[in-house]
Structures are given as structure tokens and as C-alpha cells.
A and B are shown apart, each in its own frame.
Chain A
Amino acid sequence: MGCGRVGAKLAEMLDKEGNKVTVLDVDEYSFRRLPSDFGGTPLVGNGTDQEALKKAGISETDVFLTLTQGDNRNIMAAQIAKHIFKVPRVICRIYDSKRKELFGSLGLETISPTTIFAEILKDNIKGKN
């Protein structure tokens, strides 16, 4: 869910490895980021909308990732996938590190690029000293 730079790149990589990939985005224009030989399915729809998720085949999904720019949208969609559609693995991107910790403690698998990137930068600076 979310065909931004990260979503498009990840979809491309997973598709090349032979996985069945569906990319959901509210804006059709964002599918321009997918390569021309992309073998998966781009689908216009909102990931917090149960009908759109059903259309995307959520009930047969093994892994669901929420990668939109909106933390709350990601958290809501991830919880719908996990608690309503019982998707075996749900990974949720949350920029806000505090929200990431809270929803992580509530059982969501969460990743905060903010924290990860800050830590990489810190390690880099230290390494060069």
C-alpha cells in the first residue's frame, strides 16, 4: 500500500524475485514509478477501505506493507489487515518514532525510517572520527 519511491522500489524488487505483488495507491499517476516490465498488479484504491483491500486480494495475502506518507493511514490500514483480514504478516511504516514505539508495543510490526536513518548517520559520523 503506497506507491511512492520506497513502495515502487520494493514492489519492483519483490516482483523480480518471482513474488506475486499488488501495489495499491490512491493516485494512478504514482504508478509511473514502476518499471515498464513490472509483472505485478497496480491497483487504484485506498488501503483503509475494506472494499479496496478485498479487490486487492487481501484474504490471500501473505505479507501486507503500509508505505504511504501518512503515519495514521499506515497504522489504520495495518490494523485492518491484521485484525479484520488476519493477514499473517503486516509491516507498518511510521515516521514518528514515538508512535512507532507505542503501536509496536501494541503488537504491530513497525519500522521507523526516521530512527533508522538517524542512527545510520550517527554511526557514520562516529566511524569517521
Chain B
Amino acid sequence: MYIIVVGGGKVGFFLTKALLEEGHEVVVLEKDQARTEFITSELGSIAIRGDGCELSTLSDIGAGRADMFIAVTGDDEDNLISCQIAKHQFNVTTTVARVNDPSNEPIFKLLGIDVPISSTMEILEHIEQRVPTHPLTHLLTLKELDLELVEVKIPANSSTVGKPIRDLKLPEGTTLAVIIGTKHKPSLPTPNTIIEAEDQIIAVTPPEREAALRTALRGK
């Protein structure tokens, strides 16, 4: 594959290195001359000094035949706009953008970026899975369906302990998939299933109903 990487900082450098090792043809665009020279000395003549938002620069490096365009600078506006240029001017099929401010992720998605990646959110998800007391853990994001697979742990002091599921006010659009407890085997939750202390419940939810789901399952 021919891949263009915009931004030769730490992320861009190591990404380019990994992609080259996998046998891809890679060109990295970097604004800073000294940094461009550093990348050239480390990885060979695949670094070009230039602005990933300049149409003439992108044309010079053959953006029209690129299979993938990855923008990983430290500025969200530069990542967004360069990907949009790649997509609309050069018809690159897959655009990947680093999202520095996590709140920009939905904007990137709305404005046509194929793969927006927020490193802050990625790190946060890994932390959640390792903190045993975290009330809600993200297991998987189903981006196309705009749904999330989450795990909710029921603490012993939760007000929902002892109640059947039919008594819980589950938010619309959420589905309980599996219930795993110390007293019962993993099973499909039914309206009559009683919530027990230390239960783990796997559920499917739209991202915006996450907090409501957590409250419904754990009580206040």
C-alpha cells in the first residue's frame, strides 16, 4: 500500500517506522526542516519537508495514488483539514486522523474522517479495564451502529441488589446481554432475574445513554 503520513513528531515517526517494516511504501510530510533531516537519517529518504494541507505539496508526492492518508500532527484543525483535502481533492479511500482534544472526535466523524483516533480515550479505556472498582467499563465500540458494549459491576451496597430486572428503569435503546455472578453461571438476563451483589452485567448501549444505564443498574 502507498501511505502518506502527515506530521513527523513522535507518533508520526514511530508509525512510519512500523509501516515501513511491514513493507508499505510510506512518505512522511513534516513542516520542520531539522525534524525532516532527522527522519531521513533514521529511516531513509522518505521524509519530505512540507505542509500536509498544501494542495501542490500533496500533488507532488502523488496523493492521488495513495491508499491511505494518516494525519497525526499535534493540531486537530490541521489533521482534520488535511484529511478532508486528501479525501475530496485526491479521492484517498481511507483517511485516519489523530484527535488531540477528545471532544473533537464526533466532529471528525461527522465531517467525513474515516478513522478518528483519540489517544486520550484509548488510554482511558485501558485504565478503566484495570481498575476493579470502575463502575462501567467499555469493552467494545461498534462505530457503524453507534453502540457500545459495556460491563457494569454491581457493588454489594447497591440499591438494586435483590430486585428483579423488570423493576429497573433501563434507558431506551439499551439491552442487557449477559449476567455473570458469584451465585449464578453466566446467563441471559430475563425480566425475572434478580440482581445480586458483585454481579457483572454486559450490556449494549448508545454512548449517550451510558450514564443512565449505569444509574439504572447500580441505583443512586
How far, in whole Å, are A96 and B58 apart by their CA atoms in the complex? 14
Q: A99-B53, A99-B55, A102-B89 are in contact. Are A75 and B77 (CB under 8 A)?
A: yes
Contact check, A76 vs B81: say whether CB atoms are below 8 A apart: yes
CB contact between B77 and one of A51, A72, A105 (< 8 Å): that residue: A72
Q: Does B56 contact A (CB under 8 A)?
A: yes
Measured between alpha carbons, how far is A79 from B101 in the docked complex, in Å?
Answer: 17
| CB atoms of A84 and B85 under 8 A apart | no
Complex CA distance for A99 and B51, rounded to whole angstroms = 13
Query: What 0/1 readout, one digit per residue, does chain B (87-107) give for beta carbons within 8 Å of chain A?
Result: 011000000000001011001
A70: nearest chain-B partner, CB-CB: B77
Once A72-B77, A75-B77, A76-B76 are accepted as A-B contacts, the answer to whether A99 and B85 lie under 8 Å apart by CB is yes
- Determine whether the beta carbon of A96 is less than 8 Å from that of B107: no
Residues of chain A within 8 A of B54, CB atoms compared: 96, 98
Sorting the interface of chain A by its residue count into under 10, 10 to 19, 20 to 34 or 35 or more gives 20 to 34
Contact mask for chain B residues 65-88; partner A; CB cutoff 8 A; 1 contact, 0 none: 000000000011110111011001
Q: Are B107 and A84 in contact (CB under 8 A)?
A: yes
Q: How far is the CA of A84 from the CA of B54 in the complex (A)?
A: 26
In the bound complex, CA of A75 to CA of B82 (Å): 11
A residues within 8 A CB of B88? 102, 105-106
Would you call B111 an interface residue if the criterion is a C-beta within 8 Å of the partner chain's C-beta atoms?
yes
Chain B: how many interface residues by the 8 Å CB criterion? 21
Taking the closest CB of chain A, its distance from the CB of B79, in whole angstroms, is: 9
B131 interface residue (CB < 8 Å to A): no
Inter-subunit contact A75/B81 (CB<8 Å): yes
Is A50 positioned at the interface, with any CB of B under 8 Å from its CB?
A: yes
Q: Which one of A49, A72, A84, A98 contacts B110 once the chains associate, using CB atoms below 8 Å?
A: A84
A102–B111 contact, CB under 8 A?
no
Expressed in whole angstroms, the Cα–Cα distance for A96 and B77 within the complex equals 15
* CB-defined contacts of A71 to chain B, threshold 8 Å: 53, 81
Q: Which 8 A-B pairs rank lowest in CB-CB distance, beginning with the nearest?
A: A72-B77, A72-B81, A98-B55, A76-B77, A73-B77, A72-B78, A75-B81, A76-B80
> Could you list 10 further interchain pairs (A-B, Cβ under 8 angstroms) beyond the known A50-B103, A75-B77, A98-B54?
A51-B103, A72-B77, A72-B78, A72-B80, A73-B77, A76-B77, A80-B107, A84-B110, A98-B55, A106-B84
List 28 interface pairs A-B (beta carbons < 8 Å), by A numbering. A48-B76, A48-B104, A50-B103, A50-B107, A51-B103, A70-B77, A71-B53, A72-B53, A72-B77, A72-B78, A72-B80, A72-B81, A75-B77, A75-B84, A76-B76, A76-B80, A76-B81, A79-B111, A84-B107, A96-B53, A96-B54, A99-B53, A99-B55, A99-B81, A102-B85, A103-B84, A106-B84, A106-B88
Interface residues of A (CB under 8 A from B): 48-51, 70-73, 75-76, 79-80, 83-84, 96, 98-99, 102-103, 105-106
Interface, chain B (partner A; CB < 8 A): 53-56, 75-78, 80-82, 84-85, 88-89, 101, 103-104, 107, 110-111
